[in-house]
């Protein structure tokens, strides 16, 4: 089994070829593997090379990346060691002494088991079969990642709890040929539905698309602070395009430059930022 630390960024070799460390202190430079982005998107290729991979992950991106690897037919057994996922129905931890330091709890994630559970028991396979994980990652992108802004006023938990009601609008917004979201359709079918479900009393109708829902919320009895946090269509359009780049980055061995209108990023004073 090969053990791999995801998220680590060695200062000297971050942009170079990866190194295979051998027993006894030796090492071999893997010249056949080109440098590739962050550690998060590098590790799945080692699963195919070595068949069994143990990943010590410092953030959550490694799980959906590994799931996408499986959906693409990637080989290998992947286990990820990460901070324990707390679910709403889990037993609360025992009360600790007031001066006690919080204890980190870790868990092992069997990626194949998660993949099978999602495909068999959580998401529908009748719409765009073989793209279920990519579609789910689209929703993850909308809930917020290192490269995408989350939908204002909407949590990832809200999206997941409404997954059965969102799967149809998501399928309508997803293009299986490009494995991308169609931005305007995503706004008027999927994002409009999300805000309709979140604020049903204030926006009881979502037919007519996003502008109708946002207009209803702006004219509703929501508090002024909440209304000030409502997004605009251009901001949400940018977010959907950011999600499309994330899908490219997490799926493809060669990903396109994000700084172009297609993906909603711009370069300002040398820094990459959102274009809306």
pLDDT value at residue 9: 41
Pick from 143, 131, 129, 136: which is nearest to 163 by CA? 136
pLDDT band at residue 254 under the 50/70/90 scheme: confident
How confident is the prediction for the chain on average, in pLDDT? 86
Q: List, for residues 7-27, the tens digit of each pLDDT value.
A: 444 333 446 777 888 888 889
Alpha helices in 103-257, H assignment, sequence order:
111-117, 132-143, 156-161, 163-173, 183-185, 192-198, 210-218, 224-228, 233-251
What is the residue extent of each domain of the chain? 1-20+28-87+104-114, 123-276
Q: How far apart are CA 140 and CA 121, in angstroms?
A: 18
Structure tokens at 1: 């089994």
First to last CA, the chain: 45
Alpha helices in the chain, H assignment, sequence order:
39-42, 44-50, 62-71, 111-117, 132-143, 156-161, 163-173, 183-185, 192-198, 210-218, 224-228, 233-251
Q: Over pLDDT 70: what percentage of the chain? A: 86
pLDDT value at residue 46: 83
pLDDT value at residue 123: 84
pLDDT value at residue 87: 59
Q: How far apart are CA 195 and CA 51, in angstroms?
A: 43
Structure tokens at 64: 């959906």
Q: List, for residues 161-170, the tens digit of each pLDDT value.
A: 999 999 999 9
Helix (H, G, I), strand (E, B) or coil at 141: helix
* Mean pLDDT value of segment 265-272: 92
CB 101 within 8 A of CB 146: no
Q: How far apart are CA 49 and CA 51, in angstroms?
A: 6
255 DSSP assignment: -
């Amino acid at each position: 089994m090969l053990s791999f630390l995801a998220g680590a960024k060695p200062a000297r070799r971050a942009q170079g070829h990866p190194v295979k460390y051998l027993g006894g202190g030796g090492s071999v430079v893997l010249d056949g593997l080109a440098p590739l982005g962050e550690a998060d998107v590098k590790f799945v290729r080692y699963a195919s090379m070595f068949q069994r991979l143990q990943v010590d992950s410092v953030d959550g991106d490694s799980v959906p990346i590994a799931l996408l690897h499986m959906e693409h037919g990637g080989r290998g057994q992947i286990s990820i060691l990460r901070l324990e996922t707390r679910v709403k129905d889990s037993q609360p931890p025992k009360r600790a002494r007031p001066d006690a330091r919080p204890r980190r709890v870790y868990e092992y994630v069997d990626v194949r088991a998660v993949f099978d559970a999602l495909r068999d028991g959580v998401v529908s396979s009748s719409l765009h079969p073989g793209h279920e994980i990519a579609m789910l990652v689209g929703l993850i992108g909308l809930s917020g990642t290192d490269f995408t802004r989350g939908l204002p006023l909407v949590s990832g938990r809200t999206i997941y709890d409404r997954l059965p009601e969102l799967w149809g609008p998501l399928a309508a917004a997803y293009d299986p040929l490009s494995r991308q979201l169609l931005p305007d359709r995503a706004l008027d079918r999927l994002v409009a539905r999300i805000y309709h479900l979140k604020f049903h009393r204030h926006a009881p109708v979502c037919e007519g698309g996003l502008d109708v829902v946002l207009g209803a919320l702006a004219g509703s009895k929501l508090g002024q602070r909440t209304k000030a946090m409502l997004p605009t269509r251009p901001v949400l359009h940018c977010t959907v395009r950011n999600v499309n780049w994330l899908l490219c980055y997490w799926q493809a061995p060669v990903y396109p430059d994000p700084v172009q209108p297609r993906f909603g990023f711009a370069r300002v004073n040398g820094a990459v930022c959102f274009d809306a």
